[in-house]
Structure 1
């Protein structure tokens, strides 16, 4: 394996010059830089990521790996992290994983290589094994919105199953019995846990949902629109639905309004997250308030404390979601959303 000394000899420069080219710590003549980079290519020289990260650390820097920044949920997550970084006088570097395993891995590598001393990670697709591997080499990394037993004291998570159960029970208590679950089409942990809570609530009322009651679509507005068409055309007399998030609920509501469906008289909806838009939908959306900003602040503070070695004892950082009752739920009446089904 080629070394930095080998590169220096082939390029005819000092090892210090090669180091400056690699780490971009000082200006190097373009001709010299080109010679060094050519030597690196010829020798197939691979830079050591840990060494680069160490070299680039020039002050307190907090990294955030998040999901889709266009999603209002992740905007709230980023806002909570930013608040702590300002308070602690840390610089903040943010990148998105896009709910894609490859992007999450490259994003995490990027933050480490840029010299982030502490990192808050929201990774829905990276495996537990992979995250544990990163955690073993990076002691100030904290995972948010996910529980991993092997690093529980460095996780900040939501009790997803209980939250989904609460949402479904609210509909059951209003008299609904045919309740759809509009969920993510990605095999993420949140999906599994919320489906578990949904089924637990139905079981308490002696209801075993058919698999067709679960509608799996992308968890964005377009996914919600797709779910609305399935609700209209599936032949099942749904009177209510719980959704994976509020933007999916918004997509459902848009299509149903277009089709002349009266909400909540013909379909009651409960969302999840309680993003700002939820209160401005028509009708205003009943939803589960996800304390994502508090969780983000907790995760950021924990990561910085770990970096500073200020942790006194392990803590349990689980959070619960609260039901926010607005106007999108009513007891079921004689009509349902499905135009193909008979009246109840």
Structure 2
């Protein structure tokens, strides 16, 4: 394997000159750049990126922490960040936190140790104080899908309350009053805000339901199945369901189909996220659109601006979801 000494000898220049070329120093002459570049190509020399990072203090890498890369929701987030990274001559390094505090912490520490220029953090288990501390250390850190007042100018968040309110209110406008909620059992603000939105829509429309109408479980398809089975064992009338996300809705739909209940004629359902899954369920799922791609793009650009100390104009950091109407909701026959 060729070394920097070999390149210097082949190009007829000093090792210091080769180093300046490799690190894009403005003090290097055009003739030296041409000679060194030709020598590197001839010898197949590749600069040591770690050494370059020590000199330039940059690795041209954006670090991303997500819950689980196998989840299409996070896959779209990463794909969007990676697109922005490539447009700016950078690469992405990904860490999985699996919604576990220590794993989130370890992943962030690893991204920092790898000298990422910017960090985009999707964390649901670390405290506001810990994330604020990381933000004070890393100027290019941006938090996505969460709001922390102390670092509000670098938080890209979604109005989960309004999303659940829109879904519940839409069902009410279709004549539904006996509306159940399949909720997440995770103690995170998304779950709390979506439940609050559901309850607020009921209250604003003069509908009062018992706590039996809320079934909590893990926010995945299995959790949706378990929650739906739990609701069906109760002696309560249900004509519609608001689900925490599309996965829980999918699990609920599987149970409903197995029970021979007609959808949406006998039971309507609405999801949340509007992921790829929602398009291919039967019937196609009415859901709340989560603009994660737009939010991820905003987060990546904001992180790069902060990293490069660029002027940041007043930005839209808080996003409002919208309702996507498909085929899983029917009007109540009166």
Encode CA deviations 1:155-185: one digit per residue, 9 max, x unaligned. Answer: 1011111111001000000011111111111
State the match for 1:203 in structure 2: 203
Distance 1:228 1:194 in 2: 18
State the match for 1:269 in structure 2: 269
Instruction: Give 3-state SS (helix, strand or coil) of 2:283's partner.
Output: coil
Distance 2:209 2:62 in 1: 45
Pairing of 1:230-309 with structure 2 (within 5 A): 230-309=230-309
Distance 1:58 1:307 in 2: 10
Task: Give structure 1 regions of 4+ aligned residues with deviation exceeding 4 angstroms.
Answer: 54-58
Distance 2:58 2:118 in 1: 13
Distance 1:78 1:251 in 2: 25
TM-fit CA distance, 1:195 = 1.1
CA contact (8 A) 1:161 1:196 kept: yes
State the match for 2:62 in structure 1: 62
State the match for 2:192 in structure 1: 192
CA contact (8 A) 1:266 1:333 kept: no
Instruction: Give 3-state SS (helix, strand or coil) of 1:223's partner.
Output: helix
Distance 2:299 2:58 in 1: 23
State the match for 2:100 in structure 1: 100
State the match for 1:36 in structure 2: none
TM-fit CA distance, 1:314 = 4.5
TM-score (norm 2): 0.81
1:317 equivalent to 2:314? Answer: no
Pairing of 1:26-105 with structure 2 (within 5 A): 55=54, 59-105=59-105
Distance 1:99 1:314 in 2: 31
Structure 1 segments unaligned to the other structure (5+ residues):
1-51, 335-344
CA contact (8 A) 2:65 2:108 kept: yes
CA contact (8 A) 1:55 1:115 kept: no
TM-fit CA distance, 1:77 = 1.2
State the match for 1:26 in structure 2: none
Encode CA deviations 1:205-229: one digit per residue, 9 max, x unaligned. Answer: 1123322221111111111111121
Distance 1:280 1:316 in 2: 32
Distance 1:58 1:144 in 2: 23
CA contact (8 A) 1:145 1:158 kept: yes
Distance 1:230 1:311 in 2: 53
Distance 2:245 2:70 in 1: 14
TM-fit CA distance, 1:320 = 1.1
Instruction: Give 3-state SS (helix, strand or coil) of 1:93's partner.
Output: strand
Encode CA deviations 1:94-141: one digit per residue, 9 max, x unaligned. Answer: 011111111111111111111111000000111111111111111110
Instruction: Give 3-state SS (helix, strand or coil) of 2:215's partner.
Output: strand
TM-fit CA distance, 1:82 = 1.2
State the match for 1:44 in structure 2: none
State the match for 1:152 in structure 2: 152
State the match for 1:120 in structure 2: 120
CA contact (8 A) 2:58 2:117 kept: no
CA contact (8 A) 2:156 2:299 kept: yes
1:136 equivalent to 2:136? Answer: yes
Structure 2 segments unaligned to the other structure (5+ residues):
1-50
State the match for 2:330 in structure 1: 330
Pairing of 1:144-183 with structure 2 (within 5 A): 144-183=144-183
Encode CA deviations 1:230-275: one digit per residue, 9 max, x unaligned. Answer: 1211222111111111111111111111121111112100000101
Distance 1:58 1:320 in 2: 35
Encode CA deviations 1:49-82: one digit per residue, 9 max, x unaligned. Answer: xxx9x85955211000011222221111111111
Instruction: Give 3-state SS (helix, strand or coil) of 1:330's partner.
Output: coil
State the match for 2:15 in structure 1: none
Distance 1:165 1:59 in 2: 44
Instruction: Give 3-state SS (helix, strand or coil) of 2:134's partner.
Output: helix
Distance 1:107 1:118 in 2: 14
State the match for 2:22 in structure 1: none
Distance 1:192 1:62 in 2: 31
Distance 2:215 2:285 in 1: 20
